[in-house]
Each structure stands twice: as C-alpha cells, then as structure tokens.
Chain A
Amino acid sequence: MPLDVATIRQDFPIFRRTVRDGKKLIYLDSGATSQKPEAVIQAEGDFYRLHNAAVHRGAHQLAEEATDAYEGARSKVANFIGAQAEEIVFTKSATESINLIAYAMSNAPTGSRFALTSKDRIVVTEMEHHANLIPWQQLASRSGAKLSWFEVLPDGRLDLNSINSVISADTKVVAITHQSNVLGTVNPLEAIVARAREVGAVVVLDACQSVPHMPIDVKKLGVDFLVFSGHKALGPTGIGVLWSNQLDDLPPFLFGGSMIENVTMESATWAPAPKRFEAGVPNMAQAVGLGAALDYLNAIGMENVFEHEMQLTKYFLEELQKVPTLKIVGPLDLENRGSCISFTVGEIHPHDLGQYLDSQGIAVRTGHHCAWPLTRKLGVPATTRASLYLYNQESECDLLVKAIVDAQRYFA
C-alpha cells in the first residue's frame, strides 16, 4: 500500500519549522538519526508527567506503572523483530550494545564458546561503521585473537569469492552490518551465516540501518546477536537494543544495582538475562518512547515503509545520476540495497556541497560517515549522503538535484 506521506509528515512537528531564513526543511539525514513523531515525544513526556519512578524497585503504584511501561516496551521491541521479551536487552545505543557483547566475551571463562584466545579469529567487513569495527579491534588486542575482514568491491558489494578463507576454521566471531550506512548495500546474510555455522562462529549483526527500514524477523536471519539504535527508528536518543537468544550463556559487562541475584561483602551472583545486562536505573522514558515509535511503525506497516523507500530510492538513484559528474558510491541497482545514497560531485568537496545544500534548507551528511576505512578503500576523501525514510518524498529529490546543480555553478 503506498504511504500517505503528506499525512505522515503532519505527525512530525519538526517539519513545521523552517531553517536558514525561512527555508522549508528537506531532511535527508535519517541515516544519522530519524525525526520523531508527536506520539513518541508524547509518550516520553507522559512517562515523566504521569508514571515516573525507578523500575523494578519501589513498592508503590508509580513504580508498578513505570515497570509495566518499561517491560511493555521490551515486549513491543521483541514483537517488532519476532523475538521473545527475555531476549531483549535495553542499552543506551547500538554502540553500547556492541561494546557490551565484546566486553562480555572478554569476561567469558576459559573454555566458554564466547571466550577468545590467540588461536581464534574475529571477522568483520571493510564497510563497518566504527561502532562495529573498533570494539572488535579492541577485543582482538585484549584476547590476542586475529582480526580479518571481507573486502568491498568497487560496486559497493562484499567480495564473497574468498568467503571460505576469510571465515576460516578458527573464526569465533563474525560481526557484520546488515545494511551499510554509507553505500546502502544490504549484505548477503544467508551465505555468511551458513559459513559461520560451518565453523561454529557466532554472528553479530549490526541492524542499525535495517530494523528501522524493513520487516525483520530474527528467527529467519539465523544470527546470534542483533543490535540497533532507537533513535534511527523514530525513537528517542539514549535507547539501544541488543537481541540474542543465547544471553544466558554470556557473562555480564556492567556491574551494579538491579543486575544481581545475591550479594555479600565478598561476591555477587547474577540475575537471569536480560536483567543481568541492565545494571543501574535504565533509560526508562526512552524505552517507552521507543515502544511508541514501534507502535507507530507497526500501524503503517514495515512492508509499506520498505516499499515506499524502495520506490523513492529508485527515483533518487535515477535522478541523481542525471547530474553531470555526479557519481553514486554504492550499488546502482535496487537489488539488496537500502535507502542510504552516497555520492560525489566532480571536484566539489562534500563539505562545501553540504554547506551549499544547507543554505537551501537541505540536510545531508558529509564526510566519512564513521566508516573511515571504507572511504579510504573507495579512494574518495569523503562523500555526501542522502538517507531516506518514510516521511521523504520525490519532490525533495527534485529540490536536491536542483540545489546540486546550483552548487556546481556556485563553486565553478
């Protein structure tokens, strides 16, 4: 079903404001963070206005309501990705989720399938966001494990030709992004998961750019861990998700209140998952806000969101490529591709292009997009990225194209 974008846009208060001296806001930076519908802002505010109390703690009505709201949000997240509530850990961000996994692995006792030694290997890809690269570099250096990676081909796809040698027999962890936040490439999970299974490696999926944009069912993906950030899925900042169906085998990473089973002066034991991974009073209002965001997306339907973005991506790709000297960095076809569209425009530096677009009210991201090794590999100092969401429309593409052409004149 086609989206009624005009109506959807009315749900997002930010689209009522203007930028740079009265210009209409053309927001093409949802890959960095999405805008928020009124329902999410309301839910977060209502938590503070009506139900605020520390979850799982107080012996009073507000604590009960807060706990219900927080645990209700956990169930919403679980339903959204086809999981069980006890498989969902709330963190502050995807970045924290990945660090949690990597540090928990460091804490795993010798002999645990999560414990790494110098005999083991961690595999990533050249297109990872720094958040799914550096924690693994660090785990490799703490444990002595080797770090290997899939290379990216000039067309923006992973080079899977050498999959059996990259994911070698000694591989314990394969950490990979579902959709590249630079190229838009959706990676071929099936082949990678199958090979990881063969060698007994766990697969960690960075789903930051997929969960907000397409229907996801963790049962079908076959991965061991999945992470995403609430703020890229219409939710508040400060709330991230870690999913796994193997949390019980993983030791905790952060220690403190609420994550324990029993404590003496000498030692402590841990609560069952997911609580053992949620030390301290969590980001409650933000979790509740994320629940509201997922309700909002469900009401529209993730199939519809996906279809809308695909049609829009097709239009953007076609129109952008009509601009002389503009080069798309990433797949040119829609096959296994999402709505992050990076490009270069002749000799105009992306920072200058972004500044010009901003003067026209158009918000894009420029730079290396927290994937510096990838831009280096692609041989460009930086790119400009337009990233789309359910509230974007074709007319915004037309304005972008016009502004790029004007920028070419401006910097000529």
Chain B
Amino acid sequence: MELDNLYQEVILDHYKHPLNKGLSDSYDVQVHHINPSCGDEITLNLSVEGSKIKSITWDGVGCSISQASVSIASDLLVDKDMDEADAITEQFIDLMHSKGTKEGDPEVLEDAVAMAGVSKFPARIKCALLGWMAYRDAADRIKQSGSARDHRGSGQ
C-alpha cells in the first residue's frame, strides 16, 4: 500500500519514541517555527562548540511526519560539523522535492531515507521539512552572530 511507503516503521518509531524531545536549559540559539497550513509548531534549541554541533533539543506539536522528521534530524546532525550538517540538510531537502524519484543515500541520511516516501505526498513535504528548516534557521543565526562577533572583533 502507498500509505505504508509514507508511514515507514522507522517513522512511526521515531514518532512514538522521539529522540532529543524536551528543551535543554541552555542553548546558543532558540528558534520557533510554524507550519501555517496545518498549525504544526516546533521550538528548537541549538548548541555549538566552535563549528561543531553540541546538541539539538526540541519540543513541539504536530503530525507523525513532522515529529519523526525532527527527531531524526536532531539525532543525525548532532556531533557533526556545521558545514557537514548543512550538506546533509541540503540532501534531505533535495530528497523531499524529488517527487518519489530518489531513494536518498543511506550513508549520508541514515534513518532520514525512510522519509523518501513523503516526497510523493505534496501536502506532507512541509511537515517533513519543518524541523530541518528550524535547524537551518538556527544554524544561520549562529553563523551570523559568529561573523558579527568576528566583525566586531576585527574592528577594535
């Protein structure tokens, strides 16, 4: 059934037992993202050490696809260098826009390849991307504040 393609075991597992859910007390950046078409919401905390991702924690309400996707992202991206995390995020976004023509590279995307089936359901792509977009926004803010700091530093 097409539906089983969407709701892979891995996805339902992450949904029922989400990883890194519950916001950390401390963080470098906190972002809040909303999917206006269905009302899903997520808050994501990102902590880094230099250019390395130290922790991603999150909390939110939403459907199984959005919750599983952020769970997978938080697990996959932690301990990665931010540049590498960006590349993984790009690959994931590309997979989501593939309209079912790509399977995703399990070496890079690991559990996230289970999301491949989502790309055949246009209304659900935004659900799958919610957490990843939140991560990307948080990472961008870190980079910006980092470069702002550098800039200030060099100005003195």
Question: Which residues of A approach B to under 8 Å, CB–CB?
Answer: 20-21, 349-352, 355-356, 359, 366-368, 372, 375, 381-382, 410-411
Contacts and interface: CB of A to CB of B under 8 A. Distances in A.
Contact of B64 (A20, A21, A352, A368): A352
Contacts of A356: 3
A367 B63 CA distance: 10
A411 B7 CA distance: 9
B61 interface: yes
Contact of A21 (B2, B12, B40, B121): B2
Contacts of B37: 367
B64 A359 contact: no
A368 B39 contact: yes
Contacts of B96: none
Nearest to B121: A355
B65 interface: yes
B148 interface: no
B42 to A, nearest CB: 12
B2 A355 contact: no
Contacts of A359: 1-3
Interface of B: 1-3, 6-7, 12, 37-41, 61-65, 121, 124, 127
Given A355-B6, A355-B121, A356-B3, A381 B64 contact: no
Contacts, number: 45
A368 B2 CA distance: 26
A356 B1 CA distance: 11
13 contacts: A20-B2, A349-B64, A351-B127, A352-B63, A352-B65, A355-B3, A355-B6, A359-B1, A366-B38, A367-B39, A381-B39, A381-B41, A382-B38
B63 A375 contact: no
Closest 8 CB pairs of A and B: A351-B63, A349-B63, A359-B3, A367-B38, A381-B61, A368-B39, A352-B64, A352-B63
A83 to B, nearest CB: 36
A381 B62 contact: yes
> What is the interface of chain B mostly: helix, strand, loop, or mixed?
mixed
Contacts of A375: 39
Nearest to B38: A367
A357 to B, nearest CB: 11
Contacts of A355: 3, 6, 121, 124
B64 A411 contact: yes
B12 A351 contact: no
Contacts of B39: 367-368, 372, 375, 381-382
A9 to B, nearest CB: 27
B40 A381 contact: yes
B124 to A, nearest CB: 7
Contacts of B3: 355-356, 359, 410
Nearest to B3: A359
Given A381-B62, A411-B12, A411-B64, A351 B38 contact: yes
A339 B152 CA distance: 62
A352 B2 CA distance: 14
A366 B40 CA distance: 12
B19 to A, nearest CB: 18
A341 B98 CA distance: 36
Nearest to B36: A372
Contacts of B38: 351, 366-368, 382
B58 to A, nearest CB: 16
A404 to B, nearest CB: 15
B144 to A, nearest CB: 30
B71 to A, nearest CB: 14
